[in-house]
Amino acid sequence: MKNTLVTMMTGLALAATAQAGEDYSAKAPPVPVPEPCLWTWFAGGSGGYVDDIDNDMWTLHIGKEYKCPGSNSSHALYLEVGWTSWDEGDSLYFDVGDNDPNFNLDYDFDVIPITLNYKYESQLTNNLNWYIGAGAGVAISEIDISITNGGNKFSDDDSETNFYGHIFAGLVYNFTESFEMFGGVRYLYMDGTDDYEDLDIPGVLDDDFFYELGARWNF
Residue 148: its pLDDT value, please?
Answer: 80
Residue 165: its pLDDT value, please?
Answer: 97
CA distance 105 to 91: 6
132-170, pLDDT tens digit by residue? Answer: 999 999 999 888 888 787 677 777 788 889 999 999 999
Residue 64: its pLDDT value, please?
Answer: 98
CA distance 24 to 37: 34
Mean pLDDT (the chain) is: 83
Angle formed at CA 50 by CA 185 and CA 124, multiple of 5 degrees: 15
Residues 6+ apart with CB under 8 A from 22: none
Residue 183: its pLDDT value, please?
Answer: 98
Domains of the chain (ranges plus CATH)? Answer: 35-218 (2.40.160.20)
Q: Which of 6-20, 73-87, 94-108, 198-212 has the lowest mean pLDDT?
A: 6-20
CB atoms within 10 A of CB 30: 5
Segment 154-159 long-range contacts (CB within 8 Å, at least 24 positions apart): 158/193, 158/196
24-79, pLDDT tens digit by residue? Answer: 455 667 877 778 999 999 999 999 999 988 889 999 999 999 999 989 999 999 99
Find out whether 115 and 83 touch, Cβ atoms under 8 Å: no
Residue 215: its pLDDT value, please?
Answer: 98
Q: Is 92 a residue whose pLDDT tops 60?
A: no
β-bridge mates for residue 66, sequence order: 39, 75
Residue 96: its pLDDT value, please?
Answer: 47
